[in-house]
């Protein structure tokens, strides 16, 4: 018996004058904005600043979109090449077709390169963005709903997605992944609040990898859109299982590392304070340069240290309780 039928949107875009605004793009942009907001709050608690997150975003988001599109092109080449293909379709990303694996890989490489250039601790950044990525991916899945794509097989469960007038309902895989990602984001935040100081830097990001790939494995298996297979199993299922194993290995290896979270936070605070000082020197008139820069950086350092001390005290109280 069907208890709830999820209707598909009747439109996927709207126009403002000569411009066409697509809901798929709006969902992706909304997800990015939420991710930046979440990551900034977490990054600032570690000693960073909003400007740093913004710079990293401006590097990693374009790289991630390019990587996601390349992954889709490589795994479904017949859509773009050959007798039935249209190579110009490669540039129409609003029609869908962004592979998360290519997006994460290229985005992570861009973020790593920028962090290395600016001397930001990449492990801390990875922990800061872990829940933010899941929220962004959750919101982005709504774009598939507007495009009426990537749904699952027909279902007789108490819920289902209606995509046409046939009366047949399908597994709303976009909704499954949306809920799975939001639960994962909440779980990572909870683990961070309870045990962050006992986990090696970068551990929350490996938990993100394991959580997302575990969900993607069973959700991908429900989908009926065309995909290449190996031994009767969709390629993305194999990729998900392989990345899950790599995430688990990375988590174990990180726990055996000697990297100190406190030391990385001190390094980040020092780098951020130096950046604030340079910005103050550029903005302050020559006659007042001697006082204002040091005051700004000192205030940042004291504020971060106070917040980190309060977090450590709260964690000790929770542990003792």
Give SS3 for 110.
Answer: helix
Residue 120 has pLDDT above 50, yes or no: yes
- Which residues are paired to 234 by β-bridges? 229
Residue 315 has pLDDT above 70, yes or no: no
What is the spatial distance between Cα 210 and Cα 15, in angstroms, rounded to a whole number?
40
Residue 172 has pLDDT above 60, yes or no: yes
What secondary structure letter does DSSP report for 223?
B
pLDDT, residue 293, reads 46
What's 82-95 look like in SS3? Answer: CCCCCHHHHHCHHH
What is the spatial distance between Cα 247 and Cα 125, in angstroms, rounded to a whole number?
17
Strand 169-170: give its sheet, edge to edge.
4-7, 159-162, 169-170
Question: Which structure tokens are listed for 137?
Answer: 């991916």
**In the predicted model, what is the mean pLDDT of the chain?**
85
Q: Average pLDDT of 110-129?
A: 94
pLDDT one-digit tens code per residue, 15-57: 888 888 888 889 999 999 999 999 999 999 999 999 999 999 9
Residue 181 has pLDDT above 90, yes or no: yes
Residue 297 has pLDDT above 60, yes or no: no
pLDDT one-digit tens code per residue, 275-284: 888 888 887 7
Give SS3 for 199.
Answer: coil
Q: Which of 192, 207, 176, 159 is nearest to 3 (CA)?
A: 159
Q: Which of 298, 296, 266 is nearest to 282 (CA)?
A: 296
Q: In terms of pLDDT, which residue wins out, 29 or 96?
A: 29
- The b/e string for 167-188 (b: 16+ C-beta within 10 A; e otherwise) is eebbbbbbbbbbebbbebbeeb
Q: In terms of pLDDT, which residue wins out, 300 or 229?
A: 229
Q: What percentage of residues in the chain have a pLDDT greater than 70?
A: 86
């Amino acid at each position: 018996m069907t208890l709830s039928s999820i209707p598909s949107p009747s439109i996927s875009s709207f126009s403002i004058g000569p411009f066409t605004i697509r809901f798929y793009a709006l969902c992706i942009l909304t997800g990015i904005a939420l991710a930046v907001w979440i990551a900034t709050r977490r990054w600032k608690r570690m000693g960073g600043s909003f400007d740093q997150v913004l710079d990293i975003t401006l590097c990693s988001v374009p790289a991630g979109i390019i990587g996601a599109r390349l992954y889709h092109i490589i795994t479904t080449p017949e859509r773009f090449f050959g007798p039935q293909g249209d190579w110009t379709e490669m540039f129409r990303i609003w029609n869908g077709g962004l592979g998360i694996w290519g997006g994460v890989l290229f985005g992570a490489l861009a973020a790593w390169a920028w962090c290395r250039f600016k001397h930001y601790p990449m492990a801390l950044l990875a922990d800061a963005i872990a829940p933010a990525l899941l929220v962004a991916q959750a919101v982005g899945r709504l774009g598939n709903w507007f495009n009426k794509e990537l749904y699952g097989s027909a279902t007789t469960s108490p819920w289902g997605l209606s995509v046409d007038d046939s009366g047949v309902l399908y597994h709303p895989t976009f909704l499954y992944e949306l809920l799975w990602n939001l639960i994962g984001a909440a779980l990572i935040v909870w683990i961070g609040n309870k045990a962050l100081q006992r986990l090696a830097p970068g551990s929350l990001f490996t938990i993100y990898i394991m959580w997302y790939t575990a969900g993607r494995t069973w959700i991908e298996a429900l989908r009926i859109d065309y995909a290449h297979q190996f031994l009767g199993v969709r390629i993305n299922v194999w990729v998900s299982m392989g990345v899950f194993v790599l995430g688990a290995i990375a988590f174990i290896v990180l726990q055996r590392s000697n990297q100190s979270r406190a030391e990385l936070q001190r390094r980040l605070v020092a780098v951020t304070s130096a950046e604030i000082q340079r910005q103050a020197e550029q903005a302050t008139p020559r006659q007042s340069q001697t006082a204002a820069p040091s005051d700004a950086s000192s205030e940042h350092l004291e504020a971060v240290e106070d917040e980190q001390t309060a977090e450590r005290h709260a964690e000790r109280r929770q542990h003792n309780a």
